[in-house]
Amino acid sequence: MKERLDSEYISQLADEFLEIAKKFNDYRFEKISQQKISHETFLDMGKKSTQLMKTAREMKLLSTLIVGEETATAILKLENINKEIKSSITSLIDIQKAFDFIGALGDLGLSIIDKNPAAISDNINFLSDLVKEKTS
């Protein structure tokens, strides 16, 4: 039964990543409409959201091919952080902060796909700190 939960959890996590990527896309479309960011920054942000979606795709694959227990345990703490990011990202005025969130989440995604528990823990801690520092 544990394996099923792990598989489900990774799949849900992929959904969370997709949701955050959507919110980030909304964010950058809003900022470019208001001319608060340059076209270059707008495109850079697009690359970040693409990276996040790519990670979500790989997680869906990983969920189908089953994930290891150690990895699953390492990422169980993520749920609250994701909620926090989702709720705050669209209200962020500081563009750099939005970049940092998405960048850190992208790195975390990659370490999950690599099934690297140590890197997962490091990235989760880094994200936690970012969330604590929050939000302007």
Partner 1 sequence: MHLFFRNAVYLASVLAISCTSLKPVQDLSTEALDGIGQFRELDYSFHTSCIEDCTFSKISEVEIERKLNCSCESYQLADDQVYNMYLALIDYWEGLYQLSSMNINQYNLSRPTVALRTTNLIQLKDEHLLAFQKLSEISLKAVTGQYRKNKIKTYMAEADTYQQIISDKLTFVLRENLSGLLAIQEEGWYAYYKTLTYDPTLNTVDKALATDKYYKLLENNKTRNNQITVLIEVIDLISQKHHQLVEAGTKSNSAGFREEVGRISRDLHTLHYAFEQLKK
Q: Which residues bind partner 1 (CB under 8 A)?
A: 1-4, 7-8, 11-12, 14-15, 18, 21-22, 25, 29, 32, 39, 42-43, 46, 49-50, 53, 56-57, 60-61, 63-66
For residue 1, the one-letter residue type is M
- With CA atoms as reference, report the closest residue to 53 among 86, 88, 25, 90: 25
Smallest distance, Å, CB 3 to partner 1? 4
Smallest distance, Å, CB 26 to partner 1? 10
* Minimum CB distance to partner 1 smaller for 63 or for 130: 63
* Minimum CB distance to partner 1 smaller for 42 or for 126: 42
Contacts 24+ apart (CB under 8 A), 111-116: 112/10, 112/13, 112/55, 112/59, 112/62, 112/71, 112/75, 113/55, 113/58, 113/59, 113/62, 115/62, 115/67, 115/68, 115/70, 115/71, 116/71
* Minimum CB distance to partner 1 smaller for 67 or for 74: 67
* Minimum CB distance to partner 1 smaller for 43 or for 93: 43
